Chain A
Amino acid sequence: MSVYVQILVMALVTYAVRVIPLTIFRRPVKSRFIRSFLYYVPYATLSVMTFPAILQAGEGWLVGLIAFMAAIITALIKGSLPLVALVTCLTAYLSALVF
């Protein structure tokens, strides 16, 4: 049951963030710092969450590292999201067979 409480809490926080500017606080964000900060947040968050977690997720750090590098190279060549995900998984699967 406690997992549902945690899900409800996260939903309330996330919803509040989304709905307050549309309902109660209907003014544009003026502060240049806040705007800039929020601009960088997704890149910081996703980077922190990806590395080194990708090394710990599958079948050992070496497999994770190879998949990580394959993902970056694929993203640099052709940034499409499903393709990068596919390459990541395939590389991980194949290198897990070897290492």
Chain B
Amino acid sequence: MGKEAFKDGLRSGLPISLGYFAVSFSLGILMRNAGLDPLQGLVMSLLNNTSAGEASAVSIIAEGGSTWEIALSQLVINMRYFLMSAALCPHLSPSLSLPRRALIGFDVTDEVFAVLVSAPRPLDERYAYGVATVTIPGWAAGTVLGIVFGNLLPEGIVNALSLALYGMFIAVVIPPAEKDHRILAVVISSMALSLAMAAVPALAGLGSGTKTIVLTLITASLAALIWPVEEEA
């Protein structure tokens, strides 16, 4: 092990990093449309590492929403990381110190979680650092370039690129929905309620963050009540 574990981490992280670059580039386009500058985008992506969370925060900022709305939206949207970290915890050596655990926790994302839990147990901390070392800059660089190119490219191309992140969200949601009718029901009802809320004048004024929070809580808890998920969700 030793230095090898760090290198292995870099190797596992590289494909993730390339994927992140593409996603955060399109996130950067949305940031640019929301009026954020490259430095703000850089800081946001370096500190947060979360596509849906950041996309939601960007639209709240664009609408002039409150800091409370941002905090609450991050809590709801990113709560799934709680489950991932809880699942990752038994993979760490019990003797691993608190600061090092805190370091590993910084980069728990959907994709990073997947590679960390498939590594041999107990997880070599250096493997996690290797993955983080290559994925965090990929995410941050894509964001900055998205904002910069959003400012340089012609408006028609920027408008088309501004749909890329939605395309990626669709790519995340649709294949599992095709295989699992419970997920399909969640997807369809979430979209339908989201459309309904946009169409009802009394509700249309609600911020996008509030809407995401409320509808996520409603549809995800209804699905959990109707179709509880057994072990290994």
Contacts and interface: CB of A to CB of B under 8 A. Distances in A.
- Most chain-B Cβ atoms within 10 A of its Cβ — which of A9, A18, A34, A47? A47
Interface residues of B, number: 98
A98 interface: no
Given A36-B227, A54-B166, A22 B159 contact: no
Contact of A14 (B78, B159, B187): B78
Interface string A45-70: 11111111110011100001001100
B105 A18 contact: yes
B115 interface: no
Given A46-B173, A57-B162, A10 B82 contact: no
B232 to A, nearest CB: 10
Contact of A45 (B57, B76, B188): B76
Contact of B187 (A41, A47, A82): A47
Contacts of A36: 223-224, 227-229, 233
B223 A48 contact: no
A68 B187 CA distance: 14
Contact of B90 (A28, A38, A88): A28
Interface of B is mostly: helix
Given A20-B85, A29-B82, A48-B212, A72 B223 contact: no
B220 interface: yes
Contacts of B187: 43-44, 47
B26 interface: yes
A33 to B, nearest CB: 5
Contacts of A25: 86
Contact of A33 (B102, B173, B228): B228
B151 interface: no
B104 A49 contact: no
Given A18-B105, A21-B82, A45 B77 contact: yes
B51 to A, nearest CB: 9
Interface in B1-42: 19, 22-23, 26, 36, 40
Given A38-B80, A82-B22, A85-B26, A76 B174 contact: yes
5 contacts: A13-B75, A15-B105, A32-B230, A47-B186, A88-B167
Interface of B: 19, 22-23, 26, 36, 40, 43-44, 47-50, 52-57, 59, 61, 67, 70-71, 74-90, 92, 98, 101-102, 104-106, 108, 110, 156-157, 159-178, 182-183, 186-188, 190-191, 193-195, 198, 208, 211-212, 215-216, 219-221, 223-225, 227-230, 233
